[in-house]
């Protein structure tokens, strides 16, 4: 089983890579196929929206057929297929199609892991395990930073992405062979309940708004806007952008590992999440106020956004504490739907905002985006303040 979990982590590395690699490839895609920042914002948004919408059928499939087949089938067919389409793209709309397929392929892998943790491990260690798999998985963010920039410059972005299609297919085959489904639930519990039963849990409604926005600044800036922002405001090259996104990715790895055990250290999930997200809002709003603060300080602020914006696994653990066993799959995937869907919506909105804001001075469109993200985060925190704390 440990080997199967290891390959689920590797699949999640690919998921993190695919959601973030457009920031580094943006100058090359603009040059070769005419993809503008707004085109890539739509492509990125489509990945997140597709990923989010897939959480509904994925949740039901986890509860009914188990994590092994759903993760292997979707990653192998849609994930590898989407990477193949991306590597052969000749126009921006081909990138849209590719990112939709990749979003479908990546949609089950993290929740398959969480389902196994929730069914087969003690509840008290769920947050730590959830944070660890995101921490290790965020190595995909690292691979999607400077190493991707180097590979794309050295071998071409097409060959790089086509190679990744083969890697994705190989990982999917390993999942089918090595992942083990948890033991079936007792007959009187199996198949009971629906998504509507999850939505009828009152405590969830004060958690979901922050769940919908807490990942937005880190994912949207790291996955897309870091590249155009540093190129337009600081004249950064693809390699420079690779270093910036590497710093942000390292901060996200550190944050994922740090958040996981803090609920047991401090005896609270709510206040750890709330404090971290307020600090993340402070970082993004500082960048809104002084976007020309300098290359290194701006990089440090984005690293802060990544560090404090990594509360995702602890928020999943907070919500999971309210789910009965027979609703675990649908519960955690609903949380993931809000978390990833929020990013998808805001990627699309931010692309329109960038297009609608005159670039005079050059940083103006990015200031509008940073302000939007910061205010959304503060609004989510204000609602979450009234949520019920629970640590299992």
Residue with tokens 């033991």: 183
At residue 187, the pLDDT reads: 58
What does the pLDDT read at residue 192? 60
CATH fourth-level superfamily of 2-180+194-384: MFS general substrate transporter like domains (1.20.1250.20)
How many C-beta neighbours within 10 Å does residue 266 have? 12
Instruction: Say which residues have a Cβ less than 8 Å from residue 218's Cβ, sequence separation at least 6.
Output: 248, 252, 280, 305, 306, 309, 310
Classify residue 339 as exposed, middle or buried by CB count within 10 Å of its CB (0-12, 13-18, 19+): buried
Average pLDDT, consecutive stretches of 10 residues, N- to C-terminus, the chain (392 residues): 84 89 86 88 87 88 89 96 96 95 95 86 78 82 80 92 96 94 66 75 94 93 88 88 87 87 88 97 97 95 95 89 82 87 86 90 95 97 95 74
CA 227 to chain centre: 17
Res 185: pLDDT: 65
The predicted structure's pLDDT at residue 262:
87
**10 Å Cβ neighbour count for 252?**
28
CA dihedral over 371, 372, 378, 381, signed as positive or negative:
negative
DSSP string, 308-360: HT--HHHHHHHHHTT--GGGHHHHHHHHHHHHHHHHHHHHHHHHHHHHHS--S
Q: What is the sign, positive or negative, of the torsion defined by CA atoms of 240, 245, 248, 254?
A: negative
Q: What is residue 184's DSSP assignment? A: P
pLDDT given at position 127:
77
Domain ranges of the chain: 2-180+194-384
pTM over 0.85: no
Residue among 313, 218, 175, 259 nearest 19 (CA): 218
3-class SS string, 206-226: HCHHHHHHCCHHHHHHHHHHH
CB atoms within 10 A of CB 205: 12
Note the pLDDT tens digit of each residue in 222-281. 878 998 899 999 998 878 888 898 899 889 889 988 887 888 889 899 999 999 999 999
Residue 28: helix, strand or coil by DSSP? Answer: helix
Question: d(Cα 11, Cα 18) in Å, to the nearest integer?
Answer: 11
């Amino acid at each position: 089983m440990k080997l199967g979990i290891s390959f689920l982590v590797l699949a999640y590395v690919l998921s993190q890579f695919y959601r973030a690699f457009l920031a580094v490839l943006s100058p090359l895609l603009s040059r070769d196929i005419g993809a503008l920042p707004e085109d890539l914002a739509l492509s990125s948004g489509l990945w997140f929206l597709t990923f989010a919408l897939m959480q509904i059928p994925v949740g039901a499939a986890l509860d009914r057929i188990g994590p092994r087949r759903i993760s292997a089938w979707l990653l192998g067919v849609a994930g590898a297929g989407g990477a193949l389409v991306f590597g052969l793209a000749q126009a921006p709309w081909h990138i849209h199609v590719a990112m939709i397929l990749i979003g479908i392929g990546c949609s089950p892998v993290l929740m398959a892991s969480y389902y196994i943790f929730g069914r087969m491990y003690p509840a008290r260690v769920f947050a730590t395990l959830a944070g660890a798999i995101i921490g290790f998985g965020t190595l995909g963010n690292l691979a999607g930073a400077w190493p991707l920039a180097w590979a794309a410059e050295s071998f071409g972005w097409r060959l790089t992405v086509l190679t990744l299609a083969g890697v994705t297919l190989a990982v999917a085959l390993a999942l089918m062979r090595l992942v083990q489904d948890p033991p079936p639930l007792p007959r009187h519990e199996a198949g009971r309940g629906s998504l509507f039963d999850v939505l009828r849990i009152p405590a969830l409604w004060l958690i979901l708004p922050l769940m919908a926005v807490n990942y937005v600044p880190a994912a949207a800036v790291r996955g897309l806007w870091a590249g155009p922002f540093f190129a337009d405001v600081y004249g950064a090259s693809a390699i420079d952008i690779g270093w910036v996104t590497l710093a942000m990715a390292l901060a996200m790895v550190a944050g994922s590992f740090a958040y996981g055990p803090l609920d047991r250290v401090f005896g609270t999930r709510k206040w750890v999440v709330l404090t971290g997200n307020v600090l993340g809002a402070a970082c993004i709003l500082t960048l809104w106020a002084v976007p020309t603060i300098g290359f290194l300080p701006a990089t440090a602020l984005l690293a802060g956004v990544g560090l404090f914006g990594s509360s995702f696994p602890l928020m999943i653990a907070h919500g999971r504490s309210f789910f009965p066993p027979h609703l675990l799959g649908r519960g955690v995937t609903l949380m993931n739907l809000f978390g990833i869907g929020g990013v998808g919506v805001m990627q699309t909105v931010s692309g329109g905002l960038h297009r609608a804001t005159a670039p005079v001075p050059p940083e103006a469109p990015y200031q509008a985006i940073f302000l939007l993200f910061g205010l959304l985060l503060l609004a989510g925190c204000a609602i979450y303040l009234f949520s019920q704390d629970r640590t299992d």
